[in-house]
Chains A and B, each alone.
Chain A
Amino acid sequence: MSPLPPAAVGTIAGVAVLLGVIGLVTYVTLLERKFAARMQSRVGPYRVGPHGLLQPIADAIKLMMKEDIVPREADKTVFNLAPVIFLIPCLLIFATIPFAPGLGIADLNIGILFFLAVSSMEIVGLFMAGWSSNNKYALLSAMRAVNQIISYDLPFLMAALIPVILAGSLKLGDIAAAQEGLWFIAYPVLGQLGFLAYIVASVAAENRVPFDILEAESELVAGFRVEYSGMKFALIQLGEYAHVLGTSFLGALLFLGAWAGPGPEWLGPVWFILKALLIFLLITWIRWSFIRIRVDQILQISWKLLWPASVILVIATAITVVVRSSNGG
């Protein structure tokens, strides 16, 4: 077998991951709908394909065939660019996640830093969408979004730092490898509280209920994406769900041991995906059980509760690691 140039390997890997992620994201919407339906004592999509399995495909085709409407007074360039700029960071975060030891597109030395920096870039696309729509609801929603995502990215970062400190490396592959003996979530107190902080911060940073004040359909009628239809709307939906899935993958890697699991080694990525879906279902479960809270209450929770708590947790983790290493030699 002639070795392929690294650029070709990289491209093939990138395309493979991209298609895999898009496929997974599409079917994750079906999973959410079925899960939510069962919670509401109904069945969910049932007719399209056996047990609704072709529903996401039908939705994708429908969205592609819809008319693309651009409001007359909207800022056309920004309006058309916004979904793309929103989608790119949401897909880019999958570049740093290793799906098995050594199997990832780019297991960077600063992996987690790259992940967090890029994932918060989505807010640029979000604000572009809200501003250019020439719609007061969209503008209000975009302003709330900037507030909220920035406020919650900080505790999110802090909560993600806890496994970093415990593993001693920013590289995602190393963090996953450090959990071979004991998953970070199983660490006494620190692990559980860290996981809790991570889940809350990620639900809020992704604008999921109960923190989805910026899409609050009952007030803002879909918020920043109110003027989008057709394929652009599909891109925004894709970006949102990809972001949720991305943070679920990161959570599974940081706290749930990534590919660690019983059985042979090639089963590792399967376990990884299952753990990520578990976190996704946890977020979905929260979404379909709670009502949302007001934006000022959301910001209060972030700055007065979650941020100090996560800082304290990081400091405690650091102290624990130093004490443990000085004791263990």
Chain B
Amino acid sequence: MVTVADVRTRVSSFAGAQVGEGDSPIAITIAPTDWLPLAVALRRELGFGFFSFMSAVDWKEDGLEVVAWVDNTDARLSVLMKTRLGVGVTNCASLVSEYRGANWMERECFDMFGIRFEGHPDLRRILLSDDWVGHPLLKSYDVDTPYPPYR
């Protein structure tokens, strides 16, 4: 059965990875270049097969951050993966090859934040209509932004 120590040991092999203090979840902050390799390691070596969600946070001047949560249902462990994309960067690696659930979650991140996921087979808007302008969950997008009425 995979333990917290196993996870910490494996993750520490990634350069620049910071692992948080707590055990549930194990919060791992990692560089964007290691985003997909971390997911590969978690799913294939450590048994974190349950993909809960993926989202993004807009930290204004500090850029965007992509977060994902995966679980190991047998060991009852949870991992929160985070990566800061950097100021002005809107690209990120796609996790679709590892977790099929990332398909719709990444489309939602694209729709709401404008993050383009490299390697995603079908990156288009999912919740808003195809002709929507702007990405609503960015802090620069005002809540009262007017939009044309639908016919």
Q: Do chains A and B make direct contact within the complex (CB under 8 angstroms)? A: no
Q: Which residues of B contact A (CB under 8 A)?
A: none
Q: Which residues of A contact B (CB under 8 A)?
A: none
